[in-house]
Amino acid sequence: MVHRHHERIHIDDRNLCKLCINELGDLYMDLGLSADELELLAMPRRSFTFHFPVRMDSGKTRMFVGHRIQYNDARGPTKGGLRFHPELTVDDVRDLAFLMVLKCAVVNIPFGGSKGGVVVNPKELSKNELEQVTRAYIRAIQDYIGPFKDIPAPDVYTDEHIMVWILDEYERIKGQHVPAVVTGKPYELQGIKARTYSTSLGGIYVLEEAMKRLRMSKARARVSVQGFGHVGENAARILFEEGFKIVAVSDSKGGTMNSRGLDIHKVMQHKEKTGSVADFKGGRNISNAELLTSDCDILIPAALSDQLNKENAGRVRAKIVLELANAPTTTEADQIFSKKGIMLVPDVLANAGGVVVSYFEWSQSLTNEYWDEEKVLRKLKSVMITAFHDVFALCENRCRMRRAAYQLAVRRILHAERMRGNL
């Protein structure tokens, strides 16, 4: 239906957000989208692909490819990460920018969505070369970013050090202090408390609300976490410290499981020494695939996309799936979970804590304030709980929260467009 509709309105396929069409396909009839509304949602507002030179340590000049897509700014300046990756494509950037639009709308913060990056393997660059690539990228897009235009943030293979280079280069160009041009900064340069674990904690606030709906007890809940990187490790640590029983964790090299519960602090120490959670003495080794279908009440995919699919979704035993990774569940798996009565909390809600705290950082940078950690956490909890209830209110009977979250986001975006006279 959507495909025929798409053909009828002749959307330019070169600029089409295919993820948008796929994700909104199920909602097309529910929301009664017009051709104008679908076309507005399916195409980014501004797309940049550019080439810029960088002098390498060898003295030779190398050309790099950069992308930045500002998908929609009806609700506020665009906001989105900057990633450095050798296989980055403009299609990747477009899809990620679209998801950022939805995420910001779901948690109701006044941002649109964007994404950007450089096609490069940062592991092959020296620290100086990495800095020069970052600064050259910012010089190339200087006129199109800013506190009230588009605000970059850390993403894959970028961190607070790279955000400092962005801040410094932009301020050199503008000749003034502009701390709100970027988020993810170190605390000493008007960064914000709790940023490093905000994505994980925001997801846990949402998880606790979901557990209340299902009348699940924290003391009895068994949790499996796929992905023991930054987000997954923090989620496991916080849950463990709050009294949850973590029965399995994994990383790219393998996993460990103990049905009586893992001591996450010891698991973290083991990974720091060995580079992996595998071979932890307090558990038995399992694969990533085994973890997904392990005997648990709460499953947290916090690693790669498409991990839960039609092949394994039927064997998932959890009552709640909390998506801390981006797009870890395929559409087919989502449908299977719905039939089984498994509550799936979608990524656009579950992992939005990071962008919420980025919004707080932007706000405090605009006013030259420093917020204490208690204030940040109090406001984060309020936003995430409100967003959960906003989404859940749209569910019917057996709740499909992804569909409800998309409905909520699309309605908010289109309302802003109508208020501006664009529809």
Q: Annotate 277-311 with b (16+ C-beta within 10 A) or e (fewer).
A: bbebeebeebebeebbbbebbbbbbbbeeebbbee
d(Cα 158, Cα 329) in Å, to the nearest integer?
25
pLDDT digits (tens, 9 = 90+) for 289-298: 999 999 999 9
Evaluate if residue 368 carries a pLDDT over 60: yes
Same domain? For 152 and 208 the reply is no
Evaluate if residue 17 carries a pLDDT over 90: no
Domain count, the chain: 2
Same domain? For 178 and 221 the reply is no
Task: Provide the pLDDT for residue 72.
Answer: 97
pLDDT digits (tens, 9 = 90+) for 81-109: 999 999 999 998 998 999 999 999 999 99
Same domain? For 155 and 232 the reply is no
Same domain? For 173 and 228 the reply is no
Residues 6+ away with beta carbon under 8 Å from 42: 6, 11, 16, 17, 20, 21, 24
User: Which of residues 191, 209, 226 is at a domain's end?
Assistant: 191
Task: Provide the pLDDT for residue 36.
Answer: 85
Task: Provide the pLDDT for residue 396.
Answer: 63
Task: Provide the pLDDT for residue 304.
Answer: 86
d(Cα 192, Cα 182) in Å, to the nearest integer?
12
Evaluate if residue 1 carries a pLDDT over 50: no
346 lies in which domain range? 197-350
Residue 59 near residue 73, CB atoms below 8 Å: no
Residue 190 near residue 179, CB atoms below 8 Å: yes
* Mean pLDDT, rounded, for 223-239: 97
Residue 298: phi and psi, rounded to 5, are: -130, 125
Task: Provide the pLDDT for residue 137.
Answer: 98
Same domain? For 242 and 320 the reply is yes
Same domain? For 87 and 49 the reply is yes
**Residue 282 belongs to a domain with what CATH number?**
3.40.50.720
Catalytically active residues are: 115
Hey, how many other C-beta atoms are within 10 angstroms of the C-beta on 413? 23
User: Which of residues 144, 167, 191 is at a domain's end?
Assistant: 191
pLDDT digits (tens, 9 = 90+) for 47-84: 999 999 999 999 999 999 999 999 999 999 999 999 99
Same domain? For 52 and 180 the reply is yes
Task: Provide the pLDDT for residue 8.
Answer: 38
Task: Provide the pLDDT for residue 74.
Answer: 98
d(Cα 390, Cα 384) in Å, to the nearest integer?
10
Evaluate if residue 23 carries a pLDDT over 70: no
Angle between helices 264-274 and 230-241 (to 10 degrees): 150
User: Which of residues 132, 163, 191 is at a domain's end?
Assistant: 191
d(Cα 46, Cα 73) in Å, to the nearest integer?
10
Same domain? For 65 and 139 the reply is yes
d(Cα 238, Cα 242) in Å, to the nearest integer?
6
Evaluate if residue 342 carries a pLDDT over 50: yes
Pairing mode of beta strands 254-257, 245-251 = antiparallel
Evaluate if residue 16 carries a pLDDT over 60: no
Q: How many helices (H) and strands (E) does the chain have?
A: 16, 12
Residue 113 near residue 104, CB atoms below 8 Å: yes
Evaluate if residue 21 carries a pLDDT over 80: no
Which of 85, 161, 151 has the alpha carbon at shortest distance from 128?
161
pLDDT digits (tens, 9 = 90+) for 161-220: 999 999 999 999 999 999 999 999 999 999 999 999 999 999 999 999 999 999 999 989
- How would DSSP label each residue in 95-159? HHHHHHHHHHHHTT-S-EEEEEEEE--GGGS-HHHHHHHHHHHHHHHGGG-BTTTEEEEE-TT--
Same domain? For 240 and 160 the reply is no
Is 291 part of any domain? yes
Q: What is the mean pLDDT of the chain?
A: 92
